[in-house]
Amino acid sequence: MARGVYIHIPFCHQICNYCDFNKVFFKNQPVDEYIEALGTEMKLWSEDKQAFSHIETIFLGGGTPTSLSPTQLSRLLTLIKTYIPMEHVTEFTSEANPDELTKEKLEVLYKGGVNRISLGVQAFQPELLKKLGRTHSNEHVFETLKEAKKVGFTNISIDLMYGLPGQTVEEWKATLEVAFGLNLPHYSAYSLIVESKTIFYNLMNKGKLSLPGEDLEADMYDILMQQMEEHGFHQYEISNFSKDGHSSIHNRIYWDNDEYAGFGAGAHGYVNGIRYSNHAPLKKYISSLEAGEKPILKTHVVTQDEKMEEEMFLGLRKTAGISKKHFQAKFNCTIESVYSKKLKLLVSAGLLSNDEAAVKLTKKGRFVGNEVFEEFLL
């Protein structure tokens, strides 16, 4: 049974240098046709009443959802409420760019049921924003947050990034200082990962991308955790921090390894034990739906072993770790019966803690989380 819905909006007015998500420049794209195609896809999936009887969260991501006009946003929200059961939805998030989120768009989102905004800020130094390919200014951020609160939004998060080209520890500390001054209930902070098919990747291959290095990046992460704790934020996941009651319910669905639907070009989903991905090209996505077919490119039936692997490497992202009681109820076996040797090895290395209730990363383990996760791939 799906707990959440992810809806992908692939349009952008500016392509960021680090982004590897499925996206296209907004100009001359079939935006209105795409929105209607989304409605058709949601309608097709809604026929599975058992899988879609208890949706708890909806997340508009991209690309840039706020690249849409107010009229287009309104149409999208109408389609969502038409085909997705809303009675159990407690969190409805939209990603947004600070220089595109006008008062009119904020009002459309709020009236349309969106109750959480995730704002892509990344940094507060103009030179770093320019390197990232971001087009907003600090003033855009401050004004957007001011207007969002006026409209009625109280659950607001911003994304920050560290380990950026040329970024210093002092700049990272300054970014955090400004961020805390915004008095928000939630922050996400990610280290830069240079993905293939990005501008940064091409620059790196040409030797033209100067990154801080692993040691300096680790220092920035340590500063992040210390500062968040000092300012009263709970680290509930490797990269996410919140005040009480404001952790992201939608993202927890992923980390809990629960099911969710993915709608849109290039979107991924996990429904009825099957992981699937949609066609990414807009024409192929739209034409599939015009033919009355779900726009699925490929599917994979997840085996029991794979489900356990995913439970481990997704669940260990949470600072609460993996509940042993929940694992046993879900898989009818204990964690130790499957991963005893690996657990002992990682505990002895100081990367995991393993008590009667849960298995979780230690603080040391958070710095090398990806290496720990890989140990649980059978």
pLDDT of 195-228, one tens digit each? 888 888 888 889 888 899 999 999 999 999 999 9
In a domain? residue 309: no
Spatial contact of 66 and 89, defined as CB atoms under 8 Å apart:
no
β partners of residue 235: 241
Label residue 261 exposed, middle or buried (CB < 10 Å: 0-12, 13-18, 19+).
Answer: buried
Amino acid at residue number 124: F
Is the domain of 250 the same as that of 348?
Answer: no
**Would you place residue 300 in the very low, low, confident or very high pLDDT band (cuts 50, 70, 90)?**
very high
Q: Which domain holds residue 88?
A: 2-254
Distance of CA 334 to the CA centre of its chain: 30
59 in helix, strand or coil?
strand
In a domain? residue 40: yes
5 in helix, strand or coil?
strand
In a domain? residue 287: no
Is the domain of 348 the same as that of 246?
Answer: no
Per-residue burial over 120-154, b if 16 or more Cβ lie within 10 Å, else e, is: bbbbbbeebbebbebebeeebbebbbebbeebebe
Return the residue matching tokens 């066609």.
279
From 126, 104, 113, select the one nearest 81 (Cα to Cα). 113
Determine the average pLDDT of the residues in 14-43: 91
Query: Residue 293's pLDDT is what?
Result: 97
Task: Dig out the tokens for 290 from the structure.
Answer: 């015009």
β partners of residue 94: 60, 117
Planar angle of CA 93, 256, 185, nearest 5 degrees: 40
Query: Residue 378's pLDDT is what?
Result: 64
Is the domain of 102 the same as that of 188?
Answer: yes
Strands (E) located in 279-314: 296-301
Is the domain of 220 the same as that of 369?
Answer: no
Query: Residue 118's pLDDT is what?
Result: 98
The continuous run of DSSP H or E covering 219 comes out as helix 214-230
Is the domain of 23 the same as that of 163?
Answer: yes
Is the domain of 74 the same as that of 198?
Answer: yes
Spatial contact of 162 and 124, defined as CB atoms under 8 Å apart:
no
Predicted structure pTM score:
0.95
DSSP label at residue 26: S
Is the domain of 356 the same as that of 217?
Answer: no
Amino acid at residue number 66: T
Rounded Cα distance between 307 and 285, Å, is 28
**Domain ends where: 254, 275, 294?**
254
Split into its structural domains, the chain has a count of 2
pLDDT tens-digit map of 241-258: 999 999 999 999 999 999
The CATH number that applies at residue 50 is 3.20.20.70
Is the domain of 238 the same as that of 339?
Answer: no
163 in helix, strand or coil?
coil
Cβ-based neighbours of 213, under 8 Å, separated by 6 or more: none
In a domain? residue 281: no
In a domain? residue 275: no
Determine the average pLDDT of the residues in 32-54: 95
Query: Residue 77's pLDDT is what?
Result: 98
DSSP label at residue 166: T
Query: Residue 33's pLDDT is what?
Result: 98
Query: Residue 271's pLDDT is what?
Result: 97
Rounded Cα distance between 143 and 21, Å, is 27
Rounded Cα distance between 348 and 362, Å, is 11
Is the domain of 243 the same as that of 363?
Answer: no
